[in-house]
């Protein structure tokens, strides 16, 4: 992985902590809107991590593939990811 591993790891640990908090909120029968707000915050962190990973991939692996003439393979990969992101 070419993304900043320390930053990605820190954000993943934050998201894991938020998920643990969400489980506790559900177990404690907390207010639905509070749970929803926390869910959206966790999703935002995961989207940020995914963006970091994909940007690093584009800046390293894809750029390298273009230089070597293997761009079509990386373009197909990115198209599959974009398709998943749009669902």
Indicate the fold that domain 5-85 takes in CATH.
Methane Monooxygenase Hydroxylase; Chain G, domain 1 (1.20.58)
Q: How many CB atoms lie within 10 A of CB 62?
A: 19
Number of H-type helices and E-type strands within the chain: 4, 0
Q: Is 3 helix (H, G, I), strand (E, B) or coil?
A: coil
Summarised one tens digit per residue, pLDDT across range 2-41 is 889 999 999 999 999 999 999 999 999 999 999 999 999 9
pTM of the model: 0.85
Domain ranges for the chain, please list them: 5-85
Grade residue 70 by pLDDT with cuts at 50, 70 and 90: confident
Q: Is the model's pLDDT at 1 over the cut of 90?
A: no
What's the helix, strand, coil split of the chain in %, to 5? 85, 0, 15
16 token code pair: 């894991």
């Amino acid at each position: 992985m070419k993304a900043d591993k320390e930053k990605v790891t820190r954000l993943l640990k934050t998201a894991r902590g938020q998920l643990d908090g969400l489980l506790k909120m559900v177990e404690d029968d907390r207010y639905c809107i509070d749970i929803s707000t926390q869910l959206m915050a966790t999703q935002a962190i995961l989207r940020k991590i995914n963006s970091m990973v994909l940007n690093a991939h584009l800046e390293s692996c894809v750029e390298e593939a273009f230089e070597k003439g293997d761009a079509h393979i990386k373009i197909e990969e990115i198209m599959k990811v974009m398709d998943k992101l749009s669902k």
